[in-house]
Amino acid sequence: MNAPLRVLLVDDDAMVRAGLSMMIDGARGITVVGRAVDGDEALSAVQDSNPHVVLMDLRMPRVDGITATRRLRRLPNPPEVIVLTTFDADEDILHALRAGASGFLLKDTPPEQIVAAILSVAAGDPILSPQITRRLMDRAAAQTDAHVTASAALAGLSTREHEVVLAVAQGRTNAEIAAELFMSVATVKAHLTHVFGKLGLNNRTQIAVLAREAGLV
């Protein structure tokens, strides 16, 4: 990019905004073209300054960073958004990425890496800090492992027991299961007893969780 790369800072902490501006303004062709104190101001600031990249805080008053990101990404020719935050809960990361963020960095990321991330997303390449990438990979692996384990456990059930498990996971009562599967309530209870024994479970909630992990519901 021959023209200066325009960056908008969105953070409710004035010291953070000042520090970021000092770190990145003028670095490798980057120009800070505006600042906003929350997600509510971010929309008008983007329209006024037309940035290529927005550095977006996550937790802010009035309008949070995820909501603001979602709104910005709906604009014609929207800027790329990098969430820059002290919060790294898995759900925050996933919500930000689903809202359209092109990057997710922690505020303790070294300045040169923040600059590199800005250049990367401006060029169309999403960026996550290494520790975030590892956590998402671990989460995905854990979900895969849970799915495999749950599927293997349910594979030992009979067809009828599978049907009862599915009905339990769908929130059916014993009477509803009996009517749906054309059996007596006593037979439903007997099947549940066998399921508990085979799976090493103690209650219906555990059955429902296992069924969800296996992808039955």
Gap between the Cα atoms of 188 and 191, Å rounded: 5
Lowest mean pLDDT among 34-38, 74-78, 100-104, 118-122: 100-104
- Could you tell me if residue 134 is inside a domain? no
How many domains would you assign to the chain? 2
Work out the percent of the chain whose per-residue pLDDT is above 90: 53
Question: What would the mean pLDDT of 29-39 be, rounded to a whole number?
Answer: 94
Q: How does pLDDT run across 82-92, given as a tens digit for each residue?
A: 998 887 676 77
**Do 85 and 162 fall into the same domain?**
no
Of 65-69, 77-81, 98-102, 117-121, give the lowest mean pLDDT range. Answer: 98-102
The sign of the dihedral angle between the CA atoms of 12, 17, 20, 26 is: positive
96 and 149 assigned to the same domain: no
Residue 111 lies in domain: 5-128
Q: Both 147 and 204 in a single domain?
A: yes
Q: What is the pLDDT of residue 91?
A: 77
Q: Token pair 């009979």 is at which residue?
A: 158
Together in a domain, 177 and 78: no
Q: Cα separation of 127 and 177, whole Å?
A: 49
Residues, the chain, total?
217
Same domain? For 89 and 54 the reply is yes
Overall average pLDDT of the 57-61 stretch: 91
Higher pLDDT, 196 or 94: 196
H helices present in 155-203, as ranges: 159-169, 174-181, 185-199
Look up the CATH number of the domain holding residue 11.
Answer: 3.40.50.2300
Q: Is the pLDDT of residue 1 over 60?
A: no
Residues 109 and 151 in one domain: no
In this structure, are 111 and 146 located in the same domain? no
Domain termination residue (choose one: 105, 128, 151): 128
Residue 168 has pLDDT above 60, yes or no: yes
